[in-house]
Amino acid sequence: MSFPFRIIDLTHTLTPTTPSWNGGCGFHHEIKLDYKDCATDVKFRVQQIKMHAGIGTHIDAPSHCIPNGKSVADLELQTLIAPCSVIDVSKDACESLTIEPGRIHDFEKIQGLLPGGSFVIFYTGWDKFWTHPERYRNNYRFPSVGKKTAELLLERRVVGLGIDTLSPDRPEDGFPVQRLWLGAGCYIVENVANACALPPTGFYTCALPLKTQEGTEAPVRLVGLIPK
Ligand SMILES: [Zn+2]
């Protein structure tokens, strides 16, 4: 039986130069035992990973800013594997762009209402700066999502919000989207890669995080599944 989907990788590879929220090194591999030092016949390399929980393409669970909110391990697979829509704002993307509700209305005029239970990605094109961490971080100036836009997504009963920047909020705005969205028990995926390869709708995403107990954030392998 052949797999009925085309698979699109929406995940950045983690490296020591991965852009991080604070600008420092957010990911590090340490070799604890190397092939040449291994006493057994079969030689092993054993690594330890040190990283920020919120590094690379990653998920924010409600507990990221809501005390007693759901942790990463509490998120239901039914919401993490979901129908997906991509709202492309890349033509107008700049560091001061705030994505307003009109973008959703424009999308829905063509594609129909965003379905309840779905994951919505805002594609801004900012991921083109991914390999230039300073430019990507840009002193916390990057395309972001307006509070009213987040409210409209909640009205539509969307369960996950993705964006190809460090955050749907610029710190100067006071993190309204994270507060609202995580407060509603929904999840956010930041630093989405390769969303330009996705159609506007009619496909699924899987956002599968490391299942960490009491985790507030965790790296995900985000994958798009497009019906063949
Ligand atoms: Zn985060």
Amino acid at 52: H
How much is the pLDDT for 123?
A: 98
Query: What residue ranges do the domains of the chain occupy?
Result: 13-51, 58-227
Instruction: pLDDT tens for the chain, 228 residues: list them.
Output: 899 999 999 999 999 999 999 988 899 999 999 999 999 999 999 999 999 999 999 999 999 999 999 999 999 999 999 999 999 999 999 999 999 999 999 999 999 999 999 999 999 999 999 999 999 999 999 999 999 999 999 999 999 999 999 999 999 999 999 999 999 999 999 999 999 999 999 999 999 999 999 999 999 999 999 999
Q: What is the pLDDT of residue 98?
A: 97
Distance 176 CA to ligand 1 centre (A): 14
Superfamily of structural domain 58-227? Putative cyclase (3.50.30.50)
Residue 144: CB atoms within 10 Å: 26
Token readout for 33 is: 């035992």
Direct distance between the N- and C-terminal alpha carbons of the chain, in angstroms, rounded to an integer: 13
Q: Hey, what are 197's tokens?
A: 């390869």
What is the distance in A from the centroid of ligand 1 to the CA of 228? 32
Q: Cα(35) to centroid of ligand 1, in Å?
A: 35
The model carries a pTM of: 0.97
